[in-house]
Amino acid sequence: MLRCTPTYWPGLTPYPAALEALERAAATVAHGAPEQLILAEHPALLTCGSSAQRADTGTGHTLPIYTSNRGGQVTFHGPGQRLIYPVVKLDDRWQHDIRRYMRWLQESVQRACLHLGTPTTLKTGAELGLWVGERKLAAFGVRVRKGVAFHGASLNVFNDLDIYNHFTPCGLVNSQAARLCDSVPAITMAAVDDALVAALC
């Protein structure tokens, strides 16, 4: 469990500003400040993680493309998608092991989705994420610096899925995306946030 209370970034946070804020948060946590759980939304954009292939950003769209210092490949962020940014010490809770932390993070988001009425399958390796059948619901990517893990996960809630037809998400050719609203039509972001906080904090 995280040792923090959540912070909600209002509105749509520009991605460069989010990167700067995450870097600052990681530096302060490394120096002993309290851990953070940041919940955010971004304008529509693509981000390229450390393993991204530029060709995977695709064609047929005009979205801005940003380089991110998280792990992973090409990912979409946009309105209606919840970004989950824990900034935490990679300590004895996870035996200082990023793989154990990633598993915990995935399982925590999975519990939140189940609470909301959407069972998921947790996959690792090239298909890392949470899946509803053959459709991907949540993507994960983190970075570790000075013993602090930051970045985290993106969870599709009621965002437009058309963009996924125009790039290669997470390096998975022909993969499809899912949203919570597909199985829970009346879902709200407030309900999602409550479930995430209960699962993570």
Question: What residues are labeled active site?
Answer: 170
Single out the residue of 13, 1, 75, 74 nearest to residue 39, CA to CA. 13
CA distance 196 to 170: 23
Q: Structure tokens of 109?
A: 């988001």
- In this structure, the number of other CB atoms found within 10 A of the CB of residue 88 comes to 25
List the beta bridge partners of residue 76: 46
Single out the residue of 79, 52, 74, 84 nearest to residue 164, CA to CA. 74
Q: What is the DSSP string of 15-84?
A: HHHHHHHHHHHHHHHHTTPPPEEEEE---SEEEE-TT--GGGG-SS----EEE-SSSSSEEEE-TTEEEE
CA distance 98 to 154: 18
